[in-house]
Amino acid sequence: MKHLRASRKWKTDCIGKLTMMTWKQFWKKVRRRLMKLRLQPIRVFCFHQVSNEFEPDTMWECDWTQTEVFKQKILALKNEYTFVPLTDAYHHIANDKIRFKKYAALTADDGWASLKNIIPWLAEQQIPVTLFLNPCYLDGKHYQSRETEKLLTLEDVKALVGQCKPFVTLASHGWEHGDCTKMSEGEFEENVLCAEKLLADMDGKIPFYAFAYGYFAPEQVVFLEKRSLIPVLIDGEMNYNERSIHRECIDNNMVNL
């Protein structure tokens, strides 16, 4: 009997150890999976001009993508990522949220008139997009003094927001499109505050500021944060848990990213 009881105890101990080991391994795998999800970067993409044909007198070749190529590119990304508004992406990044999906956000810089051709399509695809605008040019002035350039007007922007709500939001790219590192402290602050003043009451406005060309000085980031504006860069980096937004430019005619 003693031998039988010892045998049963040995079996129970073995099963217990095996079960404990299995559960430990299971939770270890779960933990690794959760950590991988938490550390999954959020990609934020930036584009500028999209049209059927390139117009050398009105467009910059480095900022342009042919319409069908752009659509293929976006649909390929949509198959891999869940597109969310920039505000949601930042909420995940800043608060270090566990991410159960691969997220991406889409932005467009400078307010080129050709955006009127593609923003409604993005809304049909239920892909949110944030337009970073320079309010200085919304009244018909020309970017970098090129008289042939075609930019969105204030009426165009309001129409896009109304037509494509809730998939279009607006944010600041500065009053004028200038290299912020070449501005004095006063010039930079004026460039920020003038843009905010015009955009503040517009439908769809969100508190983000994208540096033109991606150039900035550390003290300019501090100024933005004091004004409760979230800094947005364009440096090709991905987002983990920073307090700013890093973007990747997708302006080219290559489908694969």
If asked whether residues 70 and 169 sit together in one domain, one would say: yes
pLDDT value of residue 57 = 76
Give domain status of residue 257, yes or no: no
Q: Do residue 99 and residue 216 come from a single domain?
A: yes
In a domain, 254, yes or no: no
Q: What are the backbone angles phi and psi of residue 7, rounded to the nearest 5°?
A: -65, -45
Question: Dihedrals φ, ψ of 228, to 5°?
Answer: 60, 35
Amino acid identity, position 170: L
In whole angstroms, give the CA distance from residue 170 to residue 206: 6
Rounded-to-integer distance, Cα 150 and Cα 87, Å: 28
Same domain, 53 and 130: yes
Domain co-membership, 97 together with 211: yes
The number of distinct structural domains making up the chain is: 2
Asked if residue 106 is part of any domain, the answer here is yes
* Residue 30 and residue 86 in one domain: no
Residue 193 in any domain: the answer is yes
- Average pLDDT of each block of 10 consecutive residues along the chain (257 residues)? 51 55 69 65 93 82 91 96 96 82 94 93 98 89 56 94 96 94 96 95 96 92 95 82 84 65
Residue 115 and residue 202 share a domain: yes
Same domain, 116 and 23: no
How far is it, in rounded angstroms, from Cα 167 to Cα 126? 7
| pTM as predicted | 0.82
Residue with tokens 């896009």: 160
Question: Does residue 33 sit within a domain?
Answer: yes
Residue 149 lies inside a defined structural domain of this protein: yes
Same domain, 127 and 30: no
Backbone angles phi and psi of 62, in degrees to 5 = -70, -20
pLDDT of residue 4: 45
Give CA separation, 237 vs 2, 40, 175, 180, 247, in Å: 68, 13, 25, 20, 6
Residues 34 and 56 reside in one and the same domain:
no
Residue 126: per-residue pLDDT: 97
Do residue 63 and residue 110 come from a single domain? yes
179 and 61, same domain (yes or no): yes
- Main-chain dihedrals φ then ψ at residue 170, nearest 5 degrees: -120, 145
CATH of the domain at 216: 3.20.20.370
- Same domain for 70 and 171, yes or no, is yes
The answer to whether residue 255 sits within a structural domain is no
Q: What is the 3-state secondary structure (H, E, C) of the chain?
A: CHHHHHHHHHHHHHHHHHHHHHHHHHHHHHHHHHHHHHCCCEEEEEECEEECCCCCCCCCHHHEEEHHHHHHHHHHHHHHCEECCHHHHHHHHHCCCCCCCCEEEEEEECCECCHHHHHHHHHHCCCCEEEEECHHHCCCCCHHHCCCCCECCHHHHHHHHHHHCCCEEEEECCCCCCCHHHCCHHHHHHHHHHHHHHHCCCCCEEEEEECHHHCCCHHHHHHHHHCCCEEECCCCCCECCCCCECCEECCCCCCCC
Which pLDDT belongs to residue 181?
94
Domain that holds residue 19: 1-38
